[in-house]
């Protein structure tokens, strides 16, 4: 990581703060995407994210490890520092297995999270839908089959009573909606309701 000078030149510290991983498994997928983007800029992504059968440059792999550990919380660092010292590819794999693995308890927890969703009063439909999509994506990444219809059903099930007219239209429609179409319709309904109650 380059130092930010007092002249204002160089990368800002805020940019790197966004790359820090907190150890919260619910944010691992988003963190990994940002981190791999950063590694691409460092010309190290192909080293750290290469397939198992690809030969890698040991020096670049050690550099990738050095970059990776700068962005980890203490718990995550403890997971990799002994078993993957100077091995960026192995360290990232350990993190993936720990935070996005496919153990039975984790899968059960993710299904429970998805099937017990309830929209909180203070959250927008966008935030609510993102919670559902995050759980569904984690299940898919763990090898589970989660259809758009299941995600839509779980979202609809957790909507409050003020969405009942929307729920009625969605559940009685013969047209199968994609998750994208559903999200547009749900946001549109929320905006219409907000403007009616002003």
Q: Are 25 and 11 in contact (CB under 8 A)?
A: no
Residue 173 predicted with pLDDT over 90: no
Residue that terminates a domain, selected from 50, 71, 100: 100
Whole-number average pLDDT of the chain:
88
Question: What share of the chain in percent tops pLDDT 70?
Answer: 92
Query: What's the pLDDT at 12?
Result: 59
Q: If residue 168 lies in a helix (H) or strand (E), which one and from where to where?
A: helix 164-172
Query: Would residue 3 count as lying in a domain?
Result: no
Segment 95-112 shows an average pLDDT of: 86
Q: Are 146 and 138 in contact (CB under 8 A)?
A: no
Phi, psi (5° rounding) for residue 52?
Answer: -60, -35
Query: Would residue 184 count as lying in a domain?
Result: yes
Shared-domain flag, residues 191 and 108: yes
Q: Are 56 and 50 in contact (CB under 8 A)?
A: yes
Shared-domain flag, residues 117 and 149: yes
Which domain, by its residues, includes 116?
104-196
Q: Is 177 exposed, middle or buried (0-12, 13-18, 19+ CB in 10 A)?
A: middle
Query: What's the pLDDT at 3?
Result: 47
Q: Are 68 and 81 in contact (CB under 8 A)?
A: no
Q: Are 124 and 138 in contact (CB under 8 A)?
A: no
What confidence category does residue 2 fall into, taking pLDDT thresholds of 50, 70 and 90?
Answer: very low
What confidence category does residue 41 fall into, taking pLDDT thresholds of 50, 70 and 90?
Answer: very high
């Amino acid at each position: 990581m380059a130092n930010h000078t007092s002249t204002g030149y160089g990368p800002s510290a805020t940019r790197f703060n966004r790359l820090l991983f907190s150890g919260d498994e619910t944010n691992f997928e988003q963190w990994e995407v940002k981190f791999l983007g950063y590694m691409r800029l460092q010309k190290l992504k192909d080293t750290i994210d290469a397939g198992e059968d690809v030969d890698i440059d040991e020096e670049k792999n050690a550099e990738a490890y050095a970059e990776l550990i700068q962005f980890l919380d203490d718990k995550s660092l403890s997971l990799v520092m002994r078993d993957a010292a100077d091995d960026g590819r192995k360290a990232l794999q350990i993190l993936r297995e720990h935070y996005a693995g496919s153990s039975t308890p984790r899968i059960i927890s993710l299904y429970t999270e998805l099937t017990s969703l309830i929209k909180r009063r203070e959250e927008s439909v966008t935030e609510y839908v993102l919670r559902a999509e995050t759980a569904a994506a984690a299940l898919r990444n763990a090898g589970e089959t989660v259809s758009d219809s299941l995600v839509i059903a779980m979202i609809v099930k957790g909507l409050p009573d003020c969405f009942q007219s929307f729920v009625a239209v969605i559940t009685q429609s013969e047209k199968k909606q994609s998750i994208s179409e559903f999200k547009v319709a749900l946001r549109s309904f929320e905006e219409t309701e907000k403007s009616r109650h002003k």
